[in-house]
């Protein structure tokens, strides 16, 4: 059975603060660890008033300090925003402090708009076409030193922090396959190329020193509650957030509403349906069935759950119900194995 992990954006709910969002992230990671989730990742975004994980490596360290066994990492670091050496030093530091627990997922999108990209880098001279070379350079800094090497990541060198290639198109799939790295597809927000990307990755995979067989992680929006009706109500926060982002009005995570369709004109109704179609929303039985169907479709090694719920206590409860659904599926999977 596919294992479950969690992707967090450290959402800032309306009326709250970035500090509270980060404290909520750490608390959620503590619950995820208790519930048996494999890893807890945070994502890099910039100039977004509703996301508190911009300084991703700092947030990862805060979460890792509050937990003891769950893997913690980036889902991901947007590498074009950074010099590879800086990321090697940051994640080498994390790996030195929390050995055996740090992951580094890499994306090639900026995670923001062009103006903010310029503010991050002071120039737009960097080329995303250099991304493959930047990945190799970063891997070299985290690997063992070679004769004649003049630049070293300290901390970082020799830590061999596991690297994952992230993507929402076929580009990342082909790069991960060529480099023999695990691949994480962002199907929680951009599912269009999911099937073809996974096929390209698996068909083109070349074993490497890092990985002998393809390893696939897929993202899935999950909102769980004791009843389908309550889950659908809580999910309206996610729907509003997507509409606000698409309309250029991204902000803090809004509270749920009773009649979301009355908030938007007819032109926006298809987006509400689209967000619902790529999500699993409901009670324990509904969530179990939804995760099972997604796992069967993708045959992924791991499902990375994400959940944008306005109230933190309800988000913790959603996580608990999701974990119970995963436990049920594992039990059913074991029961189906042939007995000799």
Domain with residue 311: its CATH number is 3.20.20.30
- Answer yes or no: is pLDDT of 123 > 70: no
| 197 compared with 109, residue with greater pLDDT | 197
Per cent of the chain over pLDDT 90 is 81
Q: Report the C-alpha gap between 115 and 281 in whole angstroms.
A: 36
Q: What is the pLDDT of residue 60?
A: 98
In the prediction, which pLDDT does 338 show?
65
**Nearest Cα to Cα of residue 19 among 41, 47, 45, 52:** 52
Distance CA 307, CA 323 (A): 13
Report the pLDDT value the prediction gives residue 313, as an integer from 0 to 100: 98
Dist CA 165 CA 167 (whole Å): 7
- How far is Cα of residue 135 from the mean position of the Cα atoms in its chain? 18
The answer to whether residue 228 is domain-embedded is yes
Query: Judging by beta carbons within 10 Å of its beta carbon (0-12, 13-18, 19+), is residue 150 exposed, middle or buried?
Result: exposed
Q: Is the pLDDT reported for residue 34 higher than 70?
A: yes
pLDDT score recorded for residue 257: 97
How far, CA to CA in Å, does 65 sit from each of 27, 52, 70, 182? 11, 18, 11, 26
Whether 122 shows a pLDDT value over 60: the answer reads: no
* More confident of the two residues 158 and 275: 158
| This prediction's pTM | 0.94
Q: Which residues pair with 142 in a beta bridge?
A: none
**pLDDT value at 112 more than 90:** no
What is the rounded distance in angstroms from the CA atom of residue 73 to the CA atom of residue 101? 8
Predicted confidence at residue 332, as pLDDT, reads 82
**Region of poorest pLDDT, from 36-40, 119-123, 198-202, 304-308:** 119-123
Please check the confidence at residue 128 and state whether its pLDDT lies above 90: no
Phi/psi region, residue 226 (left: phi>0; alpha: psi -120 to 50; beta: rest), is alpha
Instruction: State the Cα–Cα distance between residues 254 and 27, nearest whole angstrom.
Output: 21
Candidates 230, 254, 233; CA nearest to 242 is: 254
- pLDDT for residue 183: 98
Q: What is the pLDDT of residue 109?
A: 76
Q: Which domain holds residue 205?
A: 3-335
Of the given ranges (19-23, 218-222, 240-244, 320-324), which has the lowest mean pLDDT? Answer: 240-244
Report whether pLDDT(189) > 70.
yes
Q: Quote the mean pLDDT of the chain.
A: 93
Please count the structural domains in the chain. 1
Q: Once rounded to an integer, what is the mean pLDDT over residues 178-186?
A: 97
Cα 27 from chain centre: 17
Q: What is the pLDDT of residue 301?
A: 97
Residue 340, in any domain of the structure: no
Please state, in angstroms and rounded to a whole number, the distance separating the CA atoms of residues 101 and 64: 8
Sign of CA dihedral 321, 323, 327, 333: positive
Query: 293 pLDDT exceeds 70?
Result: yes
What integer pLDDT is reported at residue 306 of this predicted model? 97
Q: For the ranges 90-94, 125-129, 234-238, which has the lowest average pLDDT?
A: 125-129
Read off the pLDDT of each residue in 193-214 and give the average, rounded to a whole number.
97
For residue 125, the model assigns a pLDDT of 57
C-alpha–C-alpha distance, residues 141 and 153, integer Å: 6
pLDDT at res. 101: 98
Question: With left for phi above 0 and alpha for psi between -120 and 50, is residue 158 left, alpha or beta?
Answer: left
Residue 322 counted as domain residue: yes
Q: 254 or 191: which carries more pLDDT confidence?
A: 254
pLDDT, mean of residues 306-311: 97
Q: Is the pLDDT of residue 102 over 60?
A: yes
Q: Is the pLDDT of residue 111 over 90?
A: no
The confidence score (pLDDT) of residue 280 equals 98
Please, are residues 87 and 77 in contact by the beta-carbon 8 Å criterion? yes
Buried b vs exposed e over 84-114: b needs ≥16 C-beta within 10 Å?
bebbbbbbbbbbeebeebbbbbbbbbbbbee
CB count in 10 Å sphere of residue 126: 17
């Amino acid at each position: 059975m596919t294992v479950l992990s969690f992707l967090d954006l450290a959402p800032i709910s309306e009326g709250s603060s970035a500090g509270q969002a980060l404290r909520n992230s750490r608390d959620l990671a503590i619950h995820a660890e208790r519930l048996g989730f494999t890893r807890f990742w945070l994502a890099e975004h910039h100039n977004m008033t509703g996301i508190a994980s911009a300084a991703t490596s700092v947030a990862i360290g805060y979460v890792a300090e509050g937990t003891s066994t769950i893997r913690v990492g980036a889902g991901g670091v947007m590498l074009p925003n950074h010099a590879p050496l800086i990321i090697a030093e940051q994640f080498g530091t994390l790996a030195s402090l929390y050995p055996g627990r740090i992951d580094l997922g890499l994306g090639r999108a900026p995670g923001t708009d062009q103006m903010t990209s310029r503010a991050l880098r002071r120039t737009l001279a960097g080329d995303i076409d250099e991304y493959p070379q930047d990945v190799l350079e970063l891997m070299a800094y985290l690997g063992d030193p070679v004769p004649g090497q003049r630049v070293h990541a300290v901390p970082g060198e020799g830590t061999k922090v596991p690297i994952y290639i992230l993507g929402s198109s076929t580009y990342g799939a082909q790069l991960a396959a060529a480099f023999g790295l695990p691949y994480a597809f962002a199907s929680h927000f951009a599912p269009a190329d999911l099937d073809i990307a996974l096929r390209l990755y698996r068909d083109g995979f070349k074993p490497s020193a890092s990985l002998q067989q393809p390893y696939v992680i897929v993202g899935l929006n999950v909102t769980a509650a004791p009843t389908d009706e309550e889950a659908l109500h809580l999910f309206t926060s996610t729907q509003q957030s997507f509409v606000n982002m698409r309309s250029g009005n991204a902000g803090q995570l809004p509270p749920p509403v009773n009649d979301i369709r009355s908030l938007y004109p007819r032109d926006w109704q298809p987006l509400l349906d689209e967000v619902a179609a790529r999500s699993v929303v409901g009670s324990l039985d509904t969530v179990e069935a939804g995760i099972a169907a997604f796992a069967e479709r993708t045959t992924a090694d791991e499902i990375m759950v994400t959940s944008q719920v306005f109230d933190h206590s309800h988000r913790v409860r959603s996580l608990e119900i999701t974990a119970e659904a995963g436990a049920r599926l594992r039990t059913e999977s074991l029961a189906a194995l042939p007995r000799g």
